[in-house]
Amino acid sequence: MSTTEVIAGTPDYTMQTYKRWPIEIVSGRGSTVTDSDGRTYIDLVAGIAVASVGHAHPKVTEAIADQAARLVHVSNLYGTHAHLLLAERLACLSPDMLSFFVNSGAEAIECALKLARKWGGPDKSRVVAAAGAFHGRTFGALAATGQPAKQTPFAPMLPGFSHVPFGDPDALEAAMGADVAAVILEPIQGEAGVIVPPHDYLGAAREMCDSWGALLILDEIQTGLGRTGRWFAHQHDGVIPDVMCLAKALAAGLPMGVCLARSEIAAAFSLGDHGTTFGGGPVQSAAALAVLNIIESEGLVERSRLVGGRVASQLRAKLPAGAIVRGRGLMLGIEWPHPVAREFACVALERGVLVNDATPNVIRLTPPLVISDDEIDAAVEVLVEVGDEVAAA
């Protein structure tokens, strides 16, 4: 039994699958979090693109508390006002799409894959995904994930999945066929190190799906809800998916995801085809409604675009030669020529800024969209300082 001490004095009886930083975060407010020693950090991780409206936003706290005081759970055997309102709201943001609410990103992907299989039937069951993609850790989502290191220990994978190089329309075309039920893509690959495909890639994928009669499933779990400077990242390319998965920022940190599908595709599901005990519960739905209202009323989609553009320019101008800055809105990656990301994240943490080492070479920045100009400027100063030191070492 492993009982390592990640936090001083507290043995850790959890399964050892995470390399945790040795701090205990006890509170958060806006774009900062505070640890048990009273030290405050500027949070450029935001729970991995989750706390988009910031930590402890008063309107989210109020929505959760109000709903929790009235009703926490009834199951999907009954309708609740909050979840119906949320589905209506999402249908306004993504016209003609129906929602299936779940508890995580991986579960939203499972729903999308099951829907594609049911829609395609036995003769149309293949799924084409991208190398490097990350879609989650459950078996369907893991089969779609294009990272052998995450799959191999759990082989054999679910059959019927193939992977093509991301961003290469010719490779995608070569993998298509009449037996393809769906192509699944992240508009920007997040876990792979913030990889932005060429501008015409999603459009080409859309055309191929149309000509082969396959569904285009877009995994907007990380990129959606304003993160890239549009409500959904596919809007940068003017592409409309058949199925879209959201999670992460949706309920401000309460576990919630949603699989949205065009109504004629969603009609492939019959009564009893899919289900969940907790999905779409009233508390997380109330939180999600508050999140969508905040994103709209505080202009966070536009803010993500403007602040993200400014930060990217500053980093490009000030980071040492060799560092490549890429991304859209407030989803940014800094790629280093050497595997220094862990060390970078460690030194940044010591200097009071949290960043994520998405890969050994790439630092990922996904701050709250509400981050203030002063906070982001202070954080950029630290990143540049740390970048100089890491590059010189």
**Residues recognised as catalytic:** 134, 219, 248
Residue 43 neighbours by CB distance under 10 Å: 26
Nearer to ligand PLP, 144 or 382 (CB): 144
- Tell me which residue has tokens 């109504």: 263
Write the CA distances from 181 to 161, 189, 214, integer angstroms.
10, 22, 5
* Contact residue for ligand PLP among 247, 252, 254, 319 (CB under 6 A): 247
Q: How far is the CB of 390 from ligand PLP (least distance, A)?
A: 25
How far, in Å, CA of 335 to CA of 311, rounded? Answer: 15
* Contact residue for ligand PLP among 135, 163, 227, 230 (CB under 6 A): 135
Q: How far is the CB of 4 from ligand PLP (least distance, A)?
A: 23
* Contact residue for ligand PLP among 30, 47, 105, 120 (CB under 6 A): 105
* Contact residue for ligand PLP among 219, 242, 335, 375 (CB under 6 A): 219
What token pair was written down for 103?
A: 């508890």
Q: How far apart are the first and last CA of the chain?
A: 38
Residue type, 356: N
Q: How far is the CB of 386 from ligand PLP (least distance, A)?
A: 24
The HSE-up count of residue 121 (CA atoms within 13 Å, CB side) is 3
* Contact residue for ligand PLP among 222, 284, 285, 356 (CB under 6 A): 222
The HSE-up count of residue 304 (CA atoms within 13 Å, CB side) is 33
* Sequence-ordered list of residues with C-beta below 8 angstroms from that of 264, at least 6 positions apart, any chain: none
Listed ranges 164-172, 185-193, 209-217, 233-241: which one lies at the site for ligand PLP (CB under 6 A): 185-193
Q: How far is the CB of 12 from ligand PLP (least distance, A)?
A: 21
* Contact residue for ligand PLP among 45, 60, 221, 286 (CB under 6 A): 221
Listed ranges 9-17, 25-33, 59-67, 101-109: which one lies at the site for ligand PLP (CB under 6 A): 101-109
How far, in Å, CA of 288 to CA of 60, rounded? Answer: 8
Closest residue by beta carbon to ligand PLP:
105
Q: How far is the CB of 40 from ligand PLP (least distance, A)?
A: 26
SS3 label, residue 23? coil
How far, in Å, CA of 295 to CA of 369, rounded? Answer: 9
The answer to the question of residue 253 lying near ligand PLP (CB under 6 A) is no
- Cα 367–chain centre separation: 13
Positions touching ligand PLP (CB under 6 A) are: 48, 104-106, 109, 134-136, 186, 190-191, 219, 221-222, 247
